[in-house]
Structure 1
Amino acid sequence: MVSSRTEHEDEREDRYEVGLGFALPKLQELLPTAGQIEQDETIQESVFYDTAERDLQRQHLTLQRRTGDIDTGWQLTVPADKTPTEIVVPSSDGDAVPDELASWVAGVALGNPMHPVTTLTTVRHTYLLLDADACLLAKITDDVVHGTVAGDGALATEWREVTVALGEAGGKKMRRAIGRSLTRGGGRPLQYPSKLARALADRHRGGEGRADGKRDPGGTDPSTSPTVRVVTDYLEAQVQAIVAGDVWLRRGLDAVHPTRVGIRRFRSTLRVFEKVLEPAARTTLDAELSWYAGLLGEVRDRQVQRARFTRAVAALPSELVMGPVAARIEEDLLAEQLHHLTDVRTVLDGERYRALLATLAQWRTAPPFTDDAAADPGVIRTALRRAERKALKRVAAAAKGADEEALHRARKAAKRARYAAELAEPVLGKKAKKKVARYKKMQEVLGEHQDSVVASGILRRLGARAGTTPGENGFTFGLLYGLELQAVRQARMDAARLM
């Protein structure tokens, strides 16, 4: 049985690193009158699996086999939209990665075999601080961790960390009191995002990069440039969406739309901020992302139109629906959708797609920035203004005529301006949010036009087929076609009012 859960960051949780000889404060003194403490001890072992090249780590996925507590079993953690999802699979016989898990990460692993790379053994002492009514004030976990990292000369480390999580009955006063007690004894905020990152820290400080996939600050590190940091963070979020989409698709889930959105945002950044990225690397990656987005687009277009036509047919008076209209639409478009989805799934195991994932992994750790990226602090504002001017110019020009291609180009320009404003939010703040809202509205209006244009073409094709098929009738398709033409005209008028 497979289960999934989403891990939300707990704002009521604090983590501290302490020395191995650290003495916990006298917790009883932190309790209110008649409060009590419940204690427990567990031993947990986590064995992390990866390829020899650490391909999962590069894409920020973790695959582990846990024993010793309630979370016993295989666990795959996939970051997505700042909210990691944990997929749990029951323990299997032997140490080999279960086939289903191996198939889900086959893309991220680039087809390479996986084996144990890090082992963490944790001795955990848990303290539940309860009030007089046995309501939870705080949960304190005191972990002594022994980590062994495989490689040329296995690296063994040992450390201790304390986590404080407030309960429903806890408050800021108790949180501050526990925090002061820990820091007075030598505790300091934990700087690593996970125990795995902490175990890998020493090896990565030797020159392989940070354990959490980010750069260490200082020196000549280009990430010290605000421009580089903002662009890198935005691109990182899009790669995260693309990689998560890969895993979801392999699990048989529908991840086409979020994956395409991640690709669109990434490609938009490559184009709008072209002066801060090396031309050859940027152009090559843009072409490969365009190729993959095109395959996904064939699936997504059918999804959108199926939903659109379902609503349209349902809105018609029953006497105007002649023949199996809804069945014809669903049968034809679903068959096409599944056909294109099969093409996508075939591509996922191909060398070209794996090369694309490998390139994205490289961009996560070392995007090919130009020297201008760090030297020009105003490059983000400049690029955004240029994207805005292009969008406004194209929308104004397209709204004056009936050129469908011009409206389509205007929509893409508005989309790029929106994404550029999203990227610029850390720099511009509220001004950027207003720009995002403006260009999102343009994108939606022009998107409605494009959807109507596509829909009218599909209806023309389906209507012609129905008109020559026994038991069917082309009348309703013609009626729907006429309604789409009205929608096209309305979208053009709406576009004109945007300016």
Structure 2
Amino acid sequence: MVSEQLEIERKFDVDAAFVPPPLDGVPGVAAVDPPVTHELAAVYHDTADLRLVRGRVTLRRRTGGPDEGWHLKLPAGTARRELHLPLDRGLGTAPPELLEMVADLLQGERPAPVVVLRTRRVVTALRDASGRVLAELADDTVTATVAAGGQDEAPEVRSWREVEVELVDGDEPLLSAVGDALVAAGAQPSPRASKVAFALSSRLGGAG
């Protein structure tokens, strides 16, 4: 059965020397959990002409972390709808329940793996005075391997670091306040729509 959530987050570009600032002084944040590290591996599926990513849609199978499984992300204004199915719904082929959601974009094409993202994610939960998780800060070090476009081409590999803040039970003012703290510490708001779009930017004409 497909589960769904609304993803509201902000991304920031950071360099290797960036140190996340203390966030227990952000209004509404009473406690900050110790960081937890996850090793994630995600295989993104798309058509040869990348029509899903061009439509701001991502389809992946990810292992590692508490939400491993198949994920389909769809645009929803400034947020994104995230649909989720367990790993066993498909190995090399995306589950039909998710493909039906993007049938208009696919137009009969069958998506296949186009890029693999391996991410070392360090997650910190921000809580209010009652212990409720308001948001999560994810510090991601990413290596993307883009499948070769032709028989004589080598895979393209690129690496970068970014920080994401995603709301859990918090509100937009909290998201803005955490973002301000990150910028004050040296982070820069990211123009990227998604990790996979950035990884594929050379095939997307520089967009990402």
Q: Distance in 1 between matches of 2:76 and 2:57?
A: 10
Deviation at 1:169, TM superposition (A): 7.1
Aligned to 1:161: 162
Higher helix proportion (structure 1 or 2): 1
* TM value normalised by structure 2: 0.74
SS class of match (2:144): strand
Deviation at 1:122, TM superposition (A): 1.9
- Counting matched residue pairs gives 201
Which structure 1 residue ranges, 5 or more long, are not aligned?
A: 212-499
Among residues 78, 82, 104, which one is paired with 1:86 in the alignment? 82
Q: Distance in 1 between matches of 2:109 and 2:54?
A: 14
Q: Which amino acid aligns with 1:188?
A: Q
1:196 aligns with 2:196: yes
Q: Distance in 2 between matches of 1:155 and 1:47?
A: 15
Q: CA 1:139/1:90 → structure 2, altered by over 3 Å: closer, same or farther?
A: closer
Aligned to 2:116: 119
Q: CA 1:104/1:150 → structure 2, altered by over 3 Å: closer, same or farther?
A: same
Q: CA 1:120/1:37 → structure 2, altered by over 3 Å: closer, same or farther?
A: same
SS class of match (2:87): coil
Which structure 2 residue ranges, 5 or more long, are not aligned?
A: none
Q: CA 1:167/1:63 → structure 2, altered by over 3 Å: closer, same or farther?
A: closer
Aligned to 2:32: 37
Deviation at 1:136, TM superposition (A): 4.2
For residues 359-401 of structure 1, the C-alpha deviation after alignment (integer angstroms, 9 at most, x for no partner) is xxxxxxxxxxxxxxxxxxxxxxxxxxxxxxxxxxxxxxxxxxx
Deviation at 1:148, TM superposition (A): 1.6
Q: Which amino acid aligns with 1:21?
A: A
Q: Are the aligned partners of 2:123 and 2:136 in contact in 1 as well (CA < 8 Å)?
A: yes
Q: Are the aligned partners of 2:198 and 2:207 in contact in 1 as well (CA < 8 Å)?
A: no
Q: Which contiguous aligned blocks of 4+ residues in structure 1 show a shift greater than 6 angstroms?
A: 80-83
Deviation at 1:51, TM superposition (A): 1.9
Q: Distance in 2 between matches of 1:73 and 1:174?
A: 26
Among residues 210, 218, 222, which one is paired with 2:207 in the alignment? 210
Q: Distance in 2 between matches of 1:102 and 1:171?
A: 31
Aligned to 1:149: 146
Deviation at 1:186, TM superposition (A): 2.3
Aligned to 1:67: 63
Aligned to 1:7: 6
1:110 aligns with 2:103: no
- Aligned runs of 1:292-311 on 2, under 5 Å? none
Q: Distance in 2 between matches of 1:166 and 1:154?
A: 35
* TM value normalised by structure 1: 0.35
Q: Distance in 2 between matches of 1:90 and 1:58?
A: 25
Q: Are the aligned partners of 1:48 and 1:117 in contact in 2 as well (CA < 8 Å)?
A: yes
Deviation at 1:191, TM superposition (A): 0.7
Relative contact order, higher structure (CA 8 A, sep 6+)? 2
% of aligned pairs identical? 33
SS class of match (2:106): coil
Q: Distance in 1 between matches of 2:41 and 2:129?
A: 35
Aligned to 1:51: 47
Aligned to 2:187: 187
Q: Are the aligned partners of 1:4 and 1:85 in contact in 2 as well (CA < 8 Å)?
A: no
Q: CA RMSD in A?
A: 3.5
Q: Distance in 1 between matches of 2:26 and 2:54?
A: 44
For residues 121-178 of structure 1, the C-alpha deviation after alignment (integer angstroms, 9 at most, x for no partner) is 22221222335543446532212122122233322121222223467678958954x4
Q: Distance in 1 between matches of 2:80 and 2:135?
A: 24
Q: CA 1:167/1:71 → structure 2, altered by over 3 Å: closer, same or farther?
A: closer
Q: Are the aligned partners of 2:165 and 2:175 in contact in 1 as well (CA < 8 Å)?
A: no
For residues 240-288 of structure 1, the C-alpha deviation after alignment (integer angstroms, 9 at most, x for no partner) is xxxxxxxxxxxxxxxxxxxxxxxxxxxxxxxxxxxxxxxxxxxxxxxxx
Q: Are the aligned partners of 2:70 and 2:84 in contact in 1 as well (CA < 8 Å)?
A: yes
Q: Distance in 2 between matches of 1:185 and 1:162?
A: 12
Deviation at 1:49, TM superposition (A): 0.7
- Aligned runs of 1:38-437 on 2, under 5 Å? 38-39=33-34, 40-79=36-75, 84-92=80-88, 94-102=91-99, 105=102, 107-136=104-133, 138-152=135-149, 153-165=154-166, 172=173, 175-176=176-177, 178-201=178-201, 203-204=202-203, 208-211=205-208
Q: Which amino acid aligns with 2:160?
A: W
Higher strand proportion (structure 1 or 2): 2
Q: Are the aligned partners of 1:4 and 1:87 in contact in 2 as well (CA < 8 Å)?
A: yes
Aligned to 1:461: none
Q: CA 1:31/1:105 → structure 2, altered by over 3 Å: closer, same or farther?
A: closer
For residues 163-220 of structure 1, the C-alpha deviation after alignment (integer angstroms, 9 at most, x for no partner) is 23467678958954x445422432100111222222223x15xx72523xxxxxxxxx
